[in-house]
Structure 1
Amino acid sequence: MKEDFADKYHRILCKKTPDFLSKYISLPILKRLEGVGLLCGTDWTPLFHNNFFYSRLDHSIGTALIVWNFTKDKKQTISALLHDVSTPAFSHVSDFKNGDALTQSSTENLNAQLIENDSKLLEFLKQDGINVSEVSDYHIYPIADNEIPGLSADRLEYMYPSGAALDSVWTLTEIENSYNHINVLKNEKEIPELGFLEEGECLIYTKKFIQTSMILQRNEDKIAMQLMADILKLAEESKIIKPNELFTLSEKELIELFTKSAEENPSWKFSKYFRTFRGMKKIFHSETKMKGFYCVNLQVKRRYINPLVKTKNSIKRISEVNKEAKEIIEQFLHFNDTKFGCLEFL
């Protein structure tokens, strides 16, 4: 499963990758994302037991394939492919570093800038007769992206591999079965949106999505991300890295660099934090701050969905037609872990 999850998964999303995508995928602006994990640094700590590494490039390709599968629109597909080019190493950890754990969008403004200033990308777009403004903001395409709790290609794509990697929530067979029940529907505002053709499959998807989202709401995930955010801040302050190296070095290269620095300077605060991140296996859930421990008290982005489902006579949100789905969504929205997650330094 580890070696070829992305390849098999991508073939489920779209049986044949359109030929025009390959030249864009080869661009340095995208190839860089091969070394950036989807799961925000949790691949590098034993607190998590991720089943496989899934990169931001894998996610970008997957999102583009979903858009192509349902729209056959070149501009929308390229826009989806480019939607994460501004993602730094360790992904949303930089949002935590920037004090933006709640919306996790602090690096998004850079995205259009990177797209608009990439000469090779602009050359390819010109060859294809596409204006850069048509691909620089995927938010304008509702199949590619929409507001929570709608289902978009981006949201659909990342939650399948996230669930599979974090806690074996999905198998490839289950993903294929789920995906085959999805189509483009019209939502309450008459805007196209991905939705389900059958209530039972929609319920299964909603349950598994929320199951995965619960992992991201727990203090384990909050600690892993905030601790790595503090490590990055300390690494910059200690001149171990320059801020722009989060956009030029892979996570593997950064971990190797941090390991070397921590071994050479074991008494540094940076080294204590990094040692703890690389060795932590459990945390403490507490309603009060534990003295002498590393503790976090954070509200983070709630990732959830309330998908459209086609009924006999209309199209509704699953919560409107299924009591179990409604309860699951409401329980998730009201869930709070203990006030603090705390960790003993190593």
Structure 2
Amino acid sequence: SQFGVPNKYYHWKGFSRYEHSVGVMLLLRKLGTSLEEQLAGLLHDVSTLAFSHVADWVFAEGTKGKESYHDQIHESFIKRTEVPKLLEKYGFSLERILQQNNFTLLEQEVPELCADRIDYSARQWKDYLSNQEITFCLGSLTNFNGEIVFLDKNAAFKFAHTFLMLQTEFWGGEEAVKRYYLFFQTLKRALKIKILKRKDFFKDEKYVMKIISQCEDAEIIKSLKMLSKKSVPNLETKKSSKIFKKFRYIDPKVLENGKLLRLSRLMPKFGKIINEHRRINKVGVKI
């Protein structure tokens, strides 16, 4: 699952990393990139473990807002698969495709637009924007000298503002953080009592969930029962510490009269909106 926590235990219907990766590839194709970059897009998340960023909490520093464990193992993971032989067969260089900085539209540092951010956020727009607004935003995107930019500042604002709303109300919201934490504790417990091994996270989520759901451990049963509720109860105790989710935002560039300008420069109010959402994210969630 792209969201990490399985649909059964999450408050928002998710989508798979496979769907996301295909979407990124198709978006790159629409923007006129090379077949090589489209392949890089299709493969960019292939090293993601079961439960996506929840695995960052288990094996890395996800609770500190760092969610990039799959990037650290991307190269070594791909080299253990059949992908290198397939690429070689069709005349593509694995080393070039592994170096994502070769592809300027696939992924970029914050606050730039990139195909990755566009796809995973656009899949959730239906809860915030009308079909007409979605068409307006996507129709304003263009590839300008190897950068994804907007042709209309109003489309850029609608996109970027919706992205921030998703960050604060969903990706970094209290309900999401509590569910991440509970499921993270469930997985840690499963590893501790040895019903799961690290290698199991390289298998599909159904395989792992079957093991967990059949477990008779009282702590795991309690956590899954809480996750099954419509709203997770308050988890704060005297020993509570703060959990911080990664702060995601974009400040896209807009092409106006042949010049590229940041949205926050064209609309100073948007810069203030970013700062307010950043402030909210820095507060964290006590658990």
TM-score (norm 1): 0.75
Q: Where does residue 253 of structure 2 map in the other structure?
A: 308
| Pair 1:241 & 2:196 matched | yes
Correspondences of 1:55-94 after superposition (within 5 Å): 55-94=16-55
Change (3 A) 1:337 1:145: closer
1:227-260 alpha-carbon deviations (Å, 9 max, x no partner): 211111111111222211121132x343333222
Q: Which runs of 5 or more residues in structure 2 are unaligned? A: none
Q: Number of residues paired by the alignment?
A: 284
Q: Aligned to 1:107, what secondary structure does the other structure show?
A: helix
Q: Where does residue 290 of structure 1 map in the other structure?
A: 237
Q: Where does residue 117 of structure 1 map in the other structure?
A: 80
Moved over 6 A (4+): none
User: How far did residue 226 of structure 1 move?
Assistant: 1.9
Q: Aligned to 1:135, what secondary structure does the other structure show?
A: helix
Change (3 A) 1:171 1:91: farther
Percent identical: 21
Q: Where does residue 222 of structure 2 map in the other structure?
A: 272
User: How far did residue 173 of structure 1 move?
Assistant: 4.5
AA aligned to 2:200 is E
User: How far did residue 142 of structure 1 move?
Assistant: 1.3
Q: Where does residue 40 of structure 1 map in the other structure?
A: 4
Aligned to 2:185, which of 230, 244, 252?
A: 230
User: How far did residue 334 of structure 1 move?
Assistant: 1.6
Change (3 A) 1:255 1:117: closer
Cα distance in 1 for partners of 2:284, 2:120 equals 28
Q: Where does residue 149 of structure 1 map in the other structure?
A: 111
Cα distance in 2 for partners of 1:336, 1:58 equals 28
Cα distance in 1 for partners of 2:150, 2:162 equals 14
Q: Which runs of 5 or more residues in structure 1 are unaligned? A: 1-36, 187-191
Change (3 A) 1:163 1:39: farther
Aligned to 1:322, which of 242, 258, 267?
A: 267
Cα distance in 2 for partners of 1:282, 1:232 equals 17
Q: Where does residue 280 of structure 2 map in the other structure?
A: 335
| Pair 1:175 & 2:134 matched | yes
Q: Where does residue 34 of structure 1 map in the other structure?
A: none
| Conserved? CA contact 1:284–1:341, under 8 Å | no
Cα distance in 2 for partners of 1:236, 1:280 equals 27
Cα distance in 1 for partners of 2:86, 2:103 equals 21
Q: Aligned to 2:22, what secondary structure does the other structure show?
A: helix
User: How far did residue 330 of structure 1 move?
Assistant: 1.8
AA aligned to 2:81 is D
Q: Aligned to 1:77, what secondary structure does the other structure show?
A: helix
User: How far did residue 199 of structure 1 move?
Assistant: 0.9
Q: Where does residue 19 of structure 1 map in the other structure?
A: none
